């Protein structure tokens, strides 16, 4: 049994027979008994491992669906994620291939798609024992390098031959839409008055920079949306969570990543998805310089994007928390997300240049 999966959480189980019946004849090996396991690490979209057969006949797929309860407009878009992953693997080998999209909500209660199962190790915080548990400076350095290097490689992919050049609308106005959109999401997800969040939102709108050349964007690039090889923390084998993939300002990806790159001098935010303070892990400045060397892009305005990324991640936590606050999910992992969001809003304000 896969060690990176769990029994589906209460209220999040799939009807295995309905799934099996729908997939029969549509995917190779999708016959016979179906066991459904859940990937337990995510906080938004629900992801499941579909296991058909056993032993040498075992066939595994991955099913992705939106989270339970209302979701923010434009997020958790299964159709968009399927569209990207059905072709992206041709030019970017770390993208799992998507095979099938189901938009009929009668099957499991929401749209979903099915993609290939990729192995590898997803590194959150702390670093797993297999890579030294945080004490191996060489392994830590490799982890910090691979998340930067693969991002630069992704931003170099030409979307035109893949038919993804129209994935977003008006790429030149992407950053403005993002800042306005995340400010609006904060308003709709707030559970209390938070002056520092409102102030930072106004600052982002008042100091909007002009974007450079547009590229494909992942829109949620970070270490725990990546899997590395079991025998090499510096070798990427998969990148996940493509439901917000679009075309726009590549520094939005970099800024969001670096916003989670805390240094020893910064207070923790109660939500640390990256082990960026471990020995050997590049500093945020080193990581930015490495991306600049790999991509050739001007990073003089990067501090703005780090503030935006920090604000955006605070809103993400608040959106997760508000579903718990309203009783739309009972997952106790979300109970502390509101205070974590408040801490991140304060950090975003402190990071303004």
For the chain, the domains span: 5-116, 136-350
pLDDT of residue 1 exceeding 50, the answer is no
Chain segment 186-209, per-residue pLDDT in tens: 999 998 999 999 999 999 999 999
Q: What's the pLDDT band for 10 if we cut at 50, 70, 90?
A: confident
Q: Which CATH fold would you assign to the domain 5-116? A: Phosphorylase Kinase; domain 1 (3.30.200)
Q: What's the pLDDT band for 245 if we cut at 50, 70, 90?
A: very high
pLDDT of residue 56 exceeding 60, the answer is yes
State the Cα–Cα distance between residues 190 and 169, nearest whole angstrom. Answer: 28
pLDDT of residue 257 exceeding 60, the answer is yes
Rounded mean pLDDT of 44-51? 91
Q: Pull the structure tokens for residue 115.
A: 């993609």
Strand order of the β-sheet with 46-52 is 5-6, 34-39, 46-52, 59-65, 112-116, 98-102
Q: Is the whole-model pTM more than 0.95?
A: no
Decide: 69 and 189 in contact? Cβ < 8 Å. no
pLDDT of residue 2 exceeding 70, the answer is no
pLDDT of residue 252 exceeding 60, the answer is yes
Which CATH number among 1.10.287.130, 3.90.1200.10, 1.25.10.10, 3.20.20.80 corresponds to the domain 136-350? 3.90.1200.10
The fraction of the chain above a pLDDT of 90, given in percent, is 74
Chain segment 217-243, per-residue pLDDT in tens: 999 999 999 999 999 999 999 999 998
Domains 5-116 and 136-350 equal at CATH topology level: no
State the Cα–Cα distance between residues 255 and 29, nearest whole angstrom. Answer: 41
Map tokens 């041709």 to a residue.
Answer: 90
Output 324 or 56, whichever has higher pLDDT.
56
The fraction of the chain above a pLDDT of 70, given in percent, is 93
Tell me if the bond preceding 326 is cis, omega within 30° of 0: no
DSSP 126: S
């Amino acid at each position: 049994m896969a060690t990176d999966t769990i029994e589906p959480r209460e209220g999040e189980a799939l009807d295995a027979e309905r799934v099996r019946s729908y997939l029969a004849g549509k995917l190779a090996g999708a016959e016979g008994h179906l066991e459904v396991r859940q990937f337990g690490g995510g906080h938004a979209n629900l992801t499941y491992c579909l296991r058909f057969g056993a032993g040498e006949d075992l066939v595994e797929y991955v099913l992705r669906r939106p989270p339970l309860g209302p979701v923010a407009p434009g997020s958790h878009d299964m159709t968009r994620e399927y569209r990207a992953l059905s072709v992206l693997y041709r030019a970017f080998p770390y993208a799992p291939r998507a095979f099938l999209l189901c938009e009929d909500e009668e099957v499991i209660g929401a749209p979903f798609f099915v993609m290939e199962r990729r192995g590898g190790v997803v590194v959150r915080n702390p670093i797993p024992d297999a890579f030294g548990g945080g004490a191996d400076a060489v392994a830590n350095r490799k982890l910090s390098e691979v998340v930067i290097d693969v991002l630069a490689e992704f931003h170099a992919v030409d979307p035109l031959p893949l038919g993804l050049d129209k994935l977003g609308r008006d790429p030149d106005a992407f950053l403005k839409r993002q800042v306005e959109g995340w400010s609006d999401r904060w308003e709709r997800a707030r559970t209390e008055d938070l002056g520092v969040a409102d102030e930072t939102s106004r600052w982002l709108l008042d100091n909007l920079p002009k974007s450079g050349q547009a590229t494909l964007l992942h829109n949620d690039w970070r270490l725990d949306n990546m899997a590395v090889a079991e025998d090499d923390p510096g070798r990427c084998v998969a990148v996940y969570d493509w439901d917000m993939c679009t075309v726009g300002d590549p520094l939005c990806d970099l800024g969001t990543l670096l916003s989670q790159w805390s240094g020893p001098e910064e207070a923790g935010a109660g939500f640390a998805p990256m082990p960026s303070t471990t020995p050997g892990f590049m500093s945020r400045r080193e990581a930015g310089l490495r991306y600049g060397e790999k991509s050739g892009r001007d990073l003089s305005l990067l501090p703005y994007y780090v503030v935006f990324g920090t604000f955006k991640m605070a809103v993400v936590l608040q959106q997760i928390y508000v579903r718990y606050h309203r009783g739309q999910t009972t997952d106790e992992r979300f109970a502390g997300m509101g205070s974590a969001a408040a801490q991140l809003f304060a950090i975003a304000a402190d990071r303004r240049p």
